[in-house]
Structure 1
Amino acid sequence: MSDRTAPASLGSPLTGHTSEVDELVFAPDGRTLVGDDQGTTMRLWNLPARLLTGQPRGFSVANHVGAVAFSPDGRTLVSGHYDKSLRWWNVSDPARPASLRPPVTMHTDTVCALDFSPDGNTLATGSRDETVLLWDVADPKHPKALRKLTGHAGGACTLDFSPDGNTLATAGTAVTSAGKGSVFLWDVSDPAQPKVLGQPLRDVTGGVNALDFSPDGRTLAAADGNSRVRLWDVSERSQAAPLGEPLSEHTSGVGALAFSPDGHTLASGGSDAVRLWEVSDPKRPKALKTLTGFTGSVGTMVFSPDGRTLATDEGETVRLWDVSNPKRAAPRGEPLEGHTGSIRTLAFSPDGRTLASAGNDQVIRVWDMDLGQDIKRICANTRNTPAADEWRRHVSSGIPFPAPC
């Protein structure tokens, strides 16, 4: 959507799930979207064909899905399940997903977090059994469990590889007996011999809800359930140190964090507002702007790859914000409407042309962020003669008909 004041829903909602959609992930090529639900199905959508068809390709996974992750090359999908298993899928051709091997069960509770290292050779899996497992997945047909990382009170449901892949940050979702949350840094340069780096980072006053490395890997942000965001200097991994005072302007628990792609801005969201922070000098973060007017808690947010747009949830709608100048951040157009249940997840495709949203209405909606290209595709698919109702459905009722075909 080159004109982001007029986003357009792409065709009909992507339906077919039989339970709430928990997670959405784009393949690295930006052409394939996978969604998982609390039922027994993962579905793949080939986005170039989404305009006038919008039919999902699905395959049964036999158990509730807790997390999914694409390998960096986009050829392999790994799914983690409520039955404690991990499953590997060949998605080189999304039209014909195929199991690569029998399921593997090493965790003793729900698998709730997955992350690939940037080189794609290592997979980290987190579980409600309070452990993280490291896997050698250089050959996805023959994954090898390497090591188990322990100590994650309440479950290891948030983890993040550093941009260079040498460090893994993990955290528990509950407080320890000392009343603190714990964040762990692990040296995983040799994933077969992981080493904890320094002492756990404990200056978090609640269970850790979110972790995010800055793009340069020198700063780690952690959000807790007690309305605070703590920034850590992790440039010396074994001597991580808190940077300044916690960001404590929120008045309720912080549920979402996102660094902008250039690392200069940090967005934090809770039930009170979304706040933008200048973190070019993370020792001296500065409040830039408070985005208000939300009618519910913000639980998910994402920057566009170019860093100019921030998408946030707001109940049953998506709000787009122009953050090209964070000090003057302002809404981009009207909220994107269409969901009939609360939105739980948002994701931009790597090329920034598509935004996906999903929520409690069991529907995935795909929004075209490049309206000009969308119009060209619609005109081509309708032989340059779209009917008025097609125009309203596939583009926008706010853009006058006749269509410019």
Structure 2
Amino acid sequence: MNRFYRFLLISTLLIGSAVFAAEAQKDEATENYTKWELPKAAKARFGKGGINALQFSPDGTQIAVGSSIGIWIYNLNTGKEIDLLPGRSQSIAFSPDGRFIASGGGKFSFRGGGLQLWETTTRQKVALTDGHRSASALHFSEDGKTLVTLEGWGDAIGKLDVETGEGDVKNIEDRSWKKITRRSSPEPYALAHNKFAIGVQVGKIELWDTTTGEKLSTLSGHGGPLPPIEDRLAIQEDNHDQPFFLPDEGVHVLILEFSPDGTKLASGSKDKTVRLWDTDTDEELAILQKHTGWINALAFSADGKRLASGSTDKTVNLWDTDTGELIATFTGHLNGIVALSFSPDGSTLASGSTDGTIKFWNTETGELLPISITEHTKWVKSVSFSEDNSALVSVAFNGILEFWDLNTWQKTGSQNAVHGDLLRGSTLSPDGKKLASVGAKATMFFEAGGSGATLSTQMTDRRVQLTEARTGRELATLDETDGIMDSGNSMAFSPDGKTVAFDSSGKICLWNTETENIINISLIDEENVPENPNNADGNGDFVFPPGMMPHHITPSISALVFSADGKKLISGNMGGKVQMWDTETGVALAPFLAGQDMEEAVKGGPGNFTVTYRDIISALAFSSNGTLLAVGGNQKIRLLGSSKQPRLKDGPRGATSLAFSPDDTVLLAGLRNGGIELFDLTTGEKIKTLKGHTATVETLVFSHDGKTLISTGQDGIILLWDWDEAVKN
């Protein structure tokens, strides 16, 4: 029997009756976790939020998953959900005796995170005194009586008495925004009993004293020259015997982790290396180099003898910290690794990925264990109802389609429709039966607690694929022979599900998927190409070669929407232009917004010029009766189509999604902070804000009967709202 499972069995038998009582309360509702901790007016939640952190309980019987919506607790015997402790969680720490679990919401506290402390047996939240902000790193004292927190942007240290909930916060003046006006992004943190570490600019790491708040030292290595091969404990195989240099600029440290005793620090970076440091002498102990992607997850075993590293290359490496030797490599995830955790006895390693799964590995044999946790998708792009409103289909950023039964609130299946690592663009047909998409191969980094992804490399698949959602079968494809080049930033299905609109290298394509007819709408207006884009050196005029300048100054399409009857298409671009098109002929109809003057937007000269966009169009929506068009941009939301329509009062900037209510009396705006604002169109007044997402709202869709609102977000969840309840004052 695996040591982990033996340990698990013994620990389970020894658990106190209070734990069993707490779990018993959830037994009956376990299958209905879709209804746990719902926001007001929501009927259900599909998906559990993207993974930010993993931590085994001290007795090894449970695992805590810090997600974008809270901490999920799982029973490791069954793999079932036990509880959800609400509130965005970026970091997790169990007290040594297992009595408490702490959650830190990270630096982005405005997105619903905060410092929280829970009793593990009763699942009751401990009341905390005022003064503690959202924590970016957590550490319990050895006796479990004190919780030490690194707060905000690493600019304060908090100490909390877990029994009383009282504590104090010491601000670190040299880490304040007054002293540091510009910070690296991302800026990772790690916390030990006497030190904390911060990844700063150009691959450097700072060590600070938790008691005095003074900086102790700066570690340098990431982004610099590698030492001679004989001095390396591990090297990348294709480096042969030649040392090489890594660029200083942009080689950020992405992850930091202290060993359990605090004597070692591990760091992972964009330079694809893991480095081990002695925290007493600041000596670089080893460079561990086998990954082919960025390293953004690290975990030490309890005895500190092994280190696990996870990468955007989708693999997990297991290292010996004394020798620097690679022990094993674990593969099987579809996307990059974001979190790692060892079981208390070190026999099992848990790996969490942006593909939404948590896998468990036997660290002795390297085999994948049968237990698995799912539905932690990082980013849900879009959804669509079935024609009878009984089912829902959703598509994630990585092309994973999931199917949900709205009568049982259960997932009924999934399908992988990806052709690459992510979907650069995608749209579901109104009946949810077809997916149109453009894929890309990319290295993606998701910062814990952040929103969206950072791409280091991206190679777009030069084809548009039409897929049968339920089976994943490819129905049709457009490729380079059809004139498809760089496509897919914006895509939309016509209301009848027959035509797909998408942008492609200076044009909009209207693809009738039944007749295979394609209408190409050129977006390049040769008369408006500036011949003198403010030459940087001021010596003469510069005329861009034919075919070059339009690709640089023709703003990309950023939003598309069909009218309810499908006869018109509205496009919005990065330059703020909004244009209507006839979908049968491709002829331009009346322009709604002219956008900015592109000659003024282009600054600089040949080989060194920039384009600055002031009001990118981020969302479009037509009213069902076709009389109003809502336009969301960086500056504001505009309502076009009627001079009598009142303007929105206190309308938000940067709406990421828009929708009209079924009766066209309310406008909904999804925001980057996760809120959904509702506006009364008869008065322009804001009715309320629906709060449930903790990251950018991607999609707002109503069921065909108008009774249910669906919202999806970059927090990885789908919320189903009772519209009658949601719209009540």
Short-chain TM bin: 0.5 to 0.7
Superposition pairs for residues 6-405 of structure 1, below 5 Å?
7-8=43-44, 18=335, 19=354, 20-21=378-379, 23-26=381-384, 28-29=386-387, 31=391, 33-38=393-398, 42-48=399-405, 56-62=414-420, 64-72=422-430, 74-81=432-439, 82-91=460-469, 94=470, 96-101=471-476, 103-105=478-480, 106-127=483-504, 129-139=505-515, 143-150=516-523, 153-172=554-573, 174-175=574-575, 181-188=576-583, 190=584, 193-202=585-594, 206-226=615-635, 228-233=636-641, 246-247=647-648, 249-250=650-651, 252-270=653-671, 274-279=676-681, 281=682, 285-291=683-689, 299-300=697-698, 302=700, 304-305=702-703, 307=706, 316=715, 324=724, 328-329=728-729
Question: Aligned in 2, Cα 1:102/1:114: closer, same or farther, shift over 3 Å?
Answer: closer
Following the alignment from structure 1 to structure 2, what is the Cα–Cα distance between the partners of residues 145 and 223?
28
Q: Deviations over 1:189-223 (max 9, x none)?
A: x2xx2211123423797111100000111110101
Distance 1:147 1:45, change over 3 A: same
* Contact preservation (8 Å) 1:131, 1:155: no
Q: d(CA) in 1 for partners of 2:593 and 2:665?
A: 23
Cα distance between partner residues in 1 of 2:497 and 2:412 = 30
Contact residue 88 and residue 99 of structure 1 kept, 8 A: yes
Give aligned pairs, total: 298
**Matched letter for residue 593 of structure 2:** L
Match of 2:187 in 1: none
Secondary structure in structure 2 of the residue aligned to 1:100: strand
Query: 1:266, 1:278 within 8 Å by CA — same for their partners in 2?
Result: yes
Residues of 2 paired with 1:326 and 1:274: CA distance? 11
Q: Partner amino acid for 2:580?
A: L
Q: Is the 8 A contact 1:126 1:158 kept in 2?
A: no
1:265 Cα deviation after fit: 0.5
Give me the whole-angstrom Cα distance separating, in 2, the residues matched to 1:88 and 1:314: 23
Counterpart in the other structure of 1:332: none
Range that drifts further, 9-18 or 155-164: 9-18
- The TM-score normalised by the length of structure 2 is 0.35
User: Do 2:45 and 2:720's aligned partners in 1 also have CA atoms closer than 8 Å?
Assistant: no
Do the aligned partners of 1:11 and 1:52 also contact (CA within 8 Å) in 2? no
1:27–1:70 Cα contact (<8 Å) kept: no
Q: Using the TM superposition, give the Cα deviation of residue 7 of structure 1 relative to its aligned residue in structure 2, in angstroms.
A: 4.3
Would the alpha carbon gap of residues 28 and 286 (structure 1) be closer, same or farther in structure 2, given more than 3 Å must change?
Answer: same
Q: Write the distance in 1 (CA, Å) between the matches of 2:711 and 2:562.
A: 24
Which stretches in structure 1 are left out of the alignment for 5+ residues? 176-180, 234-240, 330-405
| Secondary structure of the structure 1 residue equivalent to 2:486 | coil
Secondary structure, counterpart of 2:724 in structure 1: coil
Which segment is superposed worse, 72-81 or 51-60?
Answer: 51-60
CA distance in 2, matches of 1:269, 1:21: 15
**How far off is 1:298 after superposition?**
5.0
Give the whole-Å Cα distance in 2 for the aligned partners of 1:21 and 1:111.
Answer: 17
1:112 is aligned with what amino acid?
N
SS in 1 for 2:631: strand
Q: Deviations 1:119-141 (Å, cap 9, x if unpaired)?
A: 333221124x34211122224xx
- Contact 2:568 2:580 (8 Å CA) reproduced: yes
C-alpha distance in 2, partners of 1:34/1:6?
A: 18
Match of 1:217, as an amino acid? G
- Structure 1's 54 and 130: CA in aligned 2 closer, same or farther, altered over 3 A? same
- Check whether the contact 1:167–1:186 (CA below 8 A) recurs between aligned residues: yes
Q: CA deviation at 1:312?
A: 5.7
Provide Cα deviations, 1:52-99, integer angstroms capped at 9, x if missing partner. Answer: 7765332552463222233456554322233231012234xx2x3322
Aligned to 1:165, the other structure's residue is in SS state coil
- Summarize the Cα distance change of 1:296–1:14 in structure 2 as closer, same or farther, 3 Å threshold: closer
Q: 1:249 to 1:112 in 2, by over 3 A?
A: same
Contact residue 468 and residue 474 of structure 2 kept, 8 A: yes
1:230 shift after superposition: 0.9
Per the alignment, residue 457 of structure 2 pairs with: none
Asked if 2 retains the 8 angstrom alpha-carbon contact of 1:161 and 1:167, the reply is yes
| Identity, % of aligned positions | 21
Shift of 1:107: 3.4
Task: Specify whether residues 56 and 146 from structure 1 end up closer, same or farther in structure 2 by C-alpha distance, changes over 3 A only.
Answer: same
Task: Give the RMSD, CA atoms, in angstroms.
Answer: 4.1
Letter matched to residue 202 of structure 1: A
Instruction: Give the 3-state SS of the residue equivalent to 1:199 in structure 2.
Output: strand
- Higher relative contact order (Cα pairs below 8 Å, separated by 6+ residues): 1
Using the size of structure 1 for normalisation, the TM-score is 0.60
CA distance in structure 1 between the partners assigned to 2:46 and 2:432 by the alignment: 23
Q: SS at 1:206's partner residue?
A: coil
Q: Secondary structure, in 3 states, of the residue corresponding to 1:138?
A: coil
SS of aligned partner of 1:124: strand
Pair 1:136–1:62, CA change in 2 (3 A): same
- Are residues 185 and 199 of structure 1, via their aligned partners in 2, closer, same or farther at CA, if it must alter by over 3 Å? same
> 1:47 Cα shift?
3.1
- Between the aligned partners of 2:702 and 2:723, the Cα distance in structure 1 is 10
Mapped contact 1:256–1:268 kept (Cα < 8 A)? yes
Write the deviation string for residues 322-370 of structure 1: whole angstroms up to 9, x where unpaired. 65377743xxxxxxxxxxxxxxxxxxxxxxxxxxxxxxxxxxxxxxxxx
| Distance (whole Å) between structure 1 residues aligned to residue 588 and residue 566 of structure 2 | 15
Q: Give, in whole Å, the separation in 2 of the partners of 1:161 and 1:270.
A: 22
| 8 Å Cα contact 2:649-2:685 kept in structure 1 | no
Secondary structure of residue in 1 paired with 2:502: strand
